């Protein structure tokens, strides 16, 4: 079943407020910009920990995405500087080098899974730029361990609850895989503490970060932030990257326009940070991909008290869901909503519309907006610029179906054939 199509059908048939599930545990969908704005403006009405409990087996008990209230504010304040735009610009050269190295093996006549190949690049780049060369050397091992855990939380809600409620071999593998990654992260933290000195990467910044009272992140907090940033950094970004490649392959005119722009700006050299603002059409490709294929199809909150919205009473403890995917495909919000039109992001285009946090929300919104959004967009744009300078590709099959609502990706990957030069 295509969960994305089901959400669009739910909105079309029932409107902006839809309750499903049981009376004891209702799931309440709030669709559209007004609903998004309400959720973002009333963050104190909701808890995150219960809504995102299913992510704890991968991300950990203290990760930002499962933190609430004062704990979330403190952790985000300590982590945020590591994702300042100036720091992210410094990552472009490494991302481009890793992408170029992978593309060198894409020889004419070869058939490959572009999603899996680019996912590997993103995983290595994420670990490398955020946490240093020693952890990057183990990127494949870390990725394998996290993938076992990510597969566990990618199952439907009922299946996950059953797996976590009863002892079973599968869930023991999930737990053991996450624990192995945690041990590797702990080893790196301990090694840095023994060696002393400064490290100019995100882990170094996290270890050095201090509150006003001089307190830093605990060992558990450090471990959870590192693991959650690695898993989120490559899981959702690789999903979006796959859709960007798919969109360009099924829209050859857009691909050719982007290719010409990249050639004009870069010539024969790889992209640098200073080039990215000049690639305005390619930026539109990235933004349009995130509009049509936002990695997080749904996001959730659990209200701490009863509240009313649009004439409906929603009880405390319900699972309240809003959908970037549905919002991004509403024709009343986006002209030609179902079409891939990168030019809509260029001011002066007839399709251009100013966006707001409630109409365009590929990274969520409010105090819990994804902390790595800038890194994700820079990484996708850099990799696309490299890809557009590289080999031409053709989809093995144009029939691609989305799967998963936590990191929407192409079901079965993205098989492509590398064409002769």
Residues annotated within a binding site for heme: 370
Residue 274: how many other CB atoms lie within 10 Å: 10
Do 65 and 225 meet the contact criterion of CB atoms below 8 Å apart? no
Could you give the CA distance from residue 229 to residue 372 in angstroms, rounded to a whole number? Answer: 8
Which residues are annotated binding-site positions? 370
Cβ–Cβ under 8 Å, residues 386 and 270? yes
Write the DSSP assignment of 73-105 as a string of letters. Answer: HHHHHHHGGGG-HHHHHTTHHHHHHHHHHHHTT
* Separation between Cα atoms, residue 233 and residue 376, nearest integer Å: 7
- What single DSSP character describes residue 393? E
Local structure of 416: helix, strand or coil: strand
Q: Decide: helix, strand or coil at residue 188.
A: helix
Per the CB < 8 A criterion, the answer to whether 234 and 142 are in contact is no
| Among candidate residues 104, 72, 151, 34, the one with its CA nearest the CA of residue 371 | 72
């Amino acid at each position: 079943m295509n969960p994305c199509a089901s959400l669009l059908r739910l909105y079309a048939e029932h409107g902006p407020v839809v309750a499903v599930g049981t009376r004891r545990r209702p799931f309440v969908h709030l669709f559209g910009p007004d609903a998004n704005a309400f959720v973002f403006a009333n963050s104190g009405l909701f808890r995150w920990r219960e809504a995102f409990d299913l992510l704890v087996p991968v991300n950990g008990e203290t990760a930002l995405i499962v933190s609430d209230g004062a704990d979330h504010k403190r952790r985000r304040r300590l982590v945020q500087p590591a994702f300042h735009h100036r720091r992210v610009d410094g990552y472009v050269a490494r991302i481009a080098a890793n992408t170029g190295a992978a593309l060198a093996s894409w020889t004419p006549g070869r058939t490959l899974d572009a999603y899996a190949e680019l996912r590997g690049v993103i995983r290595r780049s994420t670990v490398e730029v955020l946490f240093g060369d020693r952890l990057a050397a183990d990127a494949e091992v870390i990725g394998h361990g996290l993938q076992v855990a990510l597969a566990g939380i990618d199952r439907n809600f009922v299946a996950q609850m059953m797996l976590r409620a009863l002892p079973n071999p599968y869930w023991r593998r999930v737990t053991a895989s996450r624990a192995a990654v945690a041990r590797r992260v702990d080893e790196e933290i301990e090694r840095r503490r023994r060696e002393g000195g400064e490290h100019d990467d995100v882990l170094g910044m996290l270890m050095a970060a201090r509150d006003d009272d001089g307190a830093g992140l605990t060992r558990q907090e450090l471990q959870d932030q590192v693991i959650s940033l690695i898993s989120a950094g490559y899981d959702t970004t690789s999903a979006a990257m796959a859709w960007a490649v798919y969109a360009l392959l099924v829209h050859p005119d857009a691909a050719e326009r982007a290719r010409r722009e990249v050639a004009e700006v870069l010539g024969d050299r790889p992209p640098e940070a200073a080039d990215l603002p000049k690639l305005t059409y390619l930026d539109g490709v990235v933004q349009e991909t995130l509009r049509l294929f936002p990695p997080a199809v749904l996001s959730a909150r659990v209200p701490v008290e009863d509240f009313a919205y649009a004439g409906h009473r929603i009880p405390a403890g319900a699972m309240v869901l809003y959908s970037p995917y549905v919002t991004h495909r509403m024709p009343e919000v986006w002209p030609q909503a179902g079409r891939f039109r990168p030019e809509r992001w260029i001011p002066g285009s007839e399709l251009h519309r100013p966006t707001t946090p409630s109409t365009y929300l590929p990274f969520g919104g409010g105090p819990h907006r994804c902390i790595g959004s800038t890194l994700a967009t820079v990484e996708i744009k850099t990799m696309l610029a490299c890809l557009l300078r590289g080999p031409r590709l053709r989809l093995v099959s144009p029939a691609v179906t989305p799967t998963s609502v936590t990191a929407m990706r192409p079901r079965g990957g993205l098989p492509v054939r590398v064409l002769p030069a």
